[in-house]
Chain A
Amino acid sequence: MNSSAKIIKVSIVKTYLKNIFEDIGKATLFATRFFKEVVKTSFEFKEFLWQCYAIGYKSLPIVSITAFIMGLVLTIQSRPTMAKFGAESWLPSMVGLSLIREIVPVITALICAGKIASGIGAELGSMKVTEQIDAMEVSAINPYKYLVVTRIMATTIMIPILVIYADFIGVFGGYIGYNIHENMGFYRYFSNVLEHLEFLDILPAIVKTFFFGFAIGLVGCYKGFNAENGTESVGKAANTAVVTASLSIFILDMIAVQITDLFY
């Protein structure tokens, strides 16, 4: 009795691990295929532009709001602590640094994982389930190239742009938060932030967002493309896309931070 329960437990763990490694393997193959297809000629430019619009432009409102609130809240929250050390004048640059180096890239990417990865997962998943992807394939149109390459390219390019945009909005939020108690012009606030910002602060923060964008597109497409038959798998694809994309953003961020740390 006891030993059979043990065997069942071991086998559950085994299949669980096997599934994870299988998934990682398949996703790697999926990503390899992306690089293979992307170097081939005849890029689906129109679909790519449409995806940039759908992914970038349509995410502006939510990205703006979150970035603004992050800047605002961070400033308001940090003020008492800074005041305790008599370092209130450092507030703008400290908030700016934390926003640009870490908070805005990660939070924006997470928001996009929720919005974009799930959207792509659901869209491709339902296309798969209703045989639209098969229909493309039998019409001799490469669905991977038309659907996947364009979307991954679009997220890889649009996420960094969104993050840079959100950086500005975040700093602006900080400015508003700072001026609740102080009275400082926007120009002075902004130059205060820039003064302590170095190239090495900005570059890694931007570079990692390309990887975030790639991960968001890849995970969304992979989950959608591999949806099984049946409508419930569409929901599952969208759901696991968000979870996996968010997780990979944290993992990528950890790796990125370790690498940047080497340069300091």
Chain B
Amino acid sequence: MTQAKPLKNKKTTTDSAETILELKNVCKSFGDNDVLKGLNLSVKKGENLVILGRSGSGKSIAIKCLVGLIHVDEGEIKIFGTDITELRNDDLNDIRVRIGFLFQNGALYDSMTVRQNLEFTLKHHSPNVSSAEVDEAILEALESVGLEEAIDKMPSELSGGMRKRIGLARTIIIKPEIILYDEPTTGLDAITSREISELILYVQKKYKTTSIIITHDMACAKITANRIMILKDGVICAEGSYAELEKSEDEWVRSFFI
């Protein structure tokens, strides 16, 4: 039964016009530690959703569940209309190629240069692409993050902020439809943070991507967010636009905006 499901859903993918990504009652615990306790959220096509939450509230876990890196205990995760919680790896990979993921610490491949990092995924999925096209894509991606000069460096030669930007370049190079950003601006100076935030907005406009952005950085949230959700105790406790939440009745919610 579970195997027939994705097939049936694949047909409906195209006509699920609005909501592109949906979490229903997602639960995840590690031993006694209940991290997610019935998380519900949905993202519309072309939207930037920012998720706020204190450190350790399970934000990273939540977006890792979205790409099947972590298996949920309970609940449903629909991406492009397909429930991914029951998918086998091959079918899951069909969805993964359409999703970009920026890791909290970049997760660059240490043994490869920046160029190899960028072309790795590209070459894997389309081995027939000419090297001229690959080079062009690499340059374009590096240009977007403003790090063309780092192309032949090893990740160990880069600063933390540079790694993050290269990570972002590696994410956008495959032109994903959905991008998940795990703290894209944490640990960067104010100016670079702002540049990255604007870059996220630029990518959204240029490639018409849908994004989920996890952040503690309110400046980043203010620039990038169409909608904000606040995660607390494993559930969404507040939702709204930046302006709405800033004037929230709840003091705890407001405390994020100070």
Give the interface of A toward B (CB within 8 A).
Answer: 123, 126-127, 130-132, 134-142
B67 touches A132 (CB 8 A): no
Complex CA distance for A130 and B107, rounded to whole angstroms: 6
Interface centre among A127, A132, A134, A142, by most B CB within 10 Å?
A132
Residue in A123, A132, A138, A140 whose CB lies within 8 Å of B69? A138
B125 touches A140 (CB 8 A): yes
23 CB-based A-B contacts, threshold 8 Å: A130-B105, A130-B107, A130-B110, A131-B105, A131-B107, A132-B107, A132-B108, A132-B109, A132-B110, A134-B69, A134-B107, A135-B101, A135-B109, A137-B69, A138-B67, A138-B69, A138-B96, A138-B101, A139-B96, A139-B121, A140-B93, A140-B97, A141-B121
Q: Cβ of A131: which chain B residues have Cβ within 8 Å of it? A: 103-105, 107
Q: Cβ of A123: which chain B residues have Cβ within 8 Å of it? A: 111
Closest to A50 in B: B111
* Also in contact, A134 and B103, with CB within 8 A (given A139-B96, A140-B97): yes
Instruction: Indicate whether B206 reaches chain A with its CB closer than 8 angstroms.
Output: no
Q: Cβ of A138: which chain B residues have Cβ within 8 Å of it? A: 67, 69, 96, 99, 101
Q: Cβ of A130: which chain B residues have Cβ within 8 Å of it? A: 105, 107, 110
Instruction: Indicate whether B174 reaches chain A with its CB closer than 8 angstroms.
Output: yes
The total of Cβ contacts below 8 Å across the A-B interface reads: 50
For window 42-77 of B, CB contacts with A under 8 Å fall at 64, 67, 69
Q: How far is the CB of B77 from chain A (nearest CB, A)?
A: 14
* Also in contact, A139 and B69, with CB within 8 A (given A130-B110, A134-B103): no
Q: Cβ of A137: which chain B residues have Cβ within 8 Å of it? A: 67, 69, 96
Q: Cβ of A140: which chain B residues have Cβ within 8 Å of it? A: 93-94, 96-97, 121, 125
Q: Cβ of B96: which chain A residues have Cβ within 8 Å of it? A: 137-140
Complex CA distance for A184 and B67, rounded to whole angstroms: 69
Instruction: Indicate whether B89 reaches chain A with its CB closer than 8 angstroms.
Output: yes
Can you name 9 extra interface pairs (CB under 8 A) apart from A131-B103, A131-B105? A131-B107, A135-B103, A138-B69, A138-B96, A139-B97, A140-B94, A140-B96, A141-B120, A141-B121
Classify the secondary structure of A's interface with B. helix
Complex CA distance for A127 and B110, rounded to whole angstroms: 8
Closest to A146 in B: B124
User: Which 8 residue pairs spanning A and B have beta carbons closest together?
Assistant: A140-B93, A131-B107, A135-B107, A140-B96, A139-B121, A138-B101, A140-B97, A138-B67
Q: Cβ of B110: which chain A residues have Cβ within 8 Å of it? A: 126-127, 130, 132
Q: Cβ of B121: which chain A residues have Cβ within 8 Å of it? A: 139-141
Closest to B92 in A: A140
Complex CA distance for A126 and B155, rounded to whole angstroms: 14
Complex CA distance for A127 and B111, rounded to whole angstroms: 10
Q: How far is the CB of A120 from chain B (nearest CB, A)?
A: 13
A141 touches B99 (CB 8 A): no
Closest to A126 in B: B110
Q: Cβ of A135: which chain B residues have Cβ within 8 Å of it? A: 101, 103, 107, 109
For window 9-55 of B, CB contacts with A under 8 Å fall at none
Closest to B182 in A: A131
B107 touches A139 (CB 8 A): no
Complex CA distance for A127 and B96, rounded to whole angstroms: 20
Q: How far is the CB of B210 from chain A (nearest CB, A)?
A: 16
A142 touches B89 (CB 8 A): yes
Q: Cβ of B99: which chain A residues have Cβ within 8 Å of it? A: 138
A139 touches B103 (CB 8 A): no
Q: How far is the CB of B221 from chain A (nearest CB, A)?
A: 23
Q: Cβ of A134: which chain B residues have Cβ within 8 Å of it? A: 64, 69, 103, 107
Complex CA distance for A123 and B110, rounded to whole angstroms: 10
Q: How far is the CB of B7 from chain A (nearest CB, A)?
A: 19
Q: Cβ of A141: which chain B residues have Cβ within 8 Å of it? A: 120-121, 124
For window 223-240 of B, CB contacts with A under 8 Å fall at none
Interface centre among A130, A137, A138, by most B CB within 10 Å?
A138
Q: How far is the CB of A23 from chain B (nearest CB, A)?
A: 19
B174 touches A139 (CB 8 A): yes
Closest to B97 in A: A140
Complex CA distance for A127 and B109, rounded to whole angstroms: 8
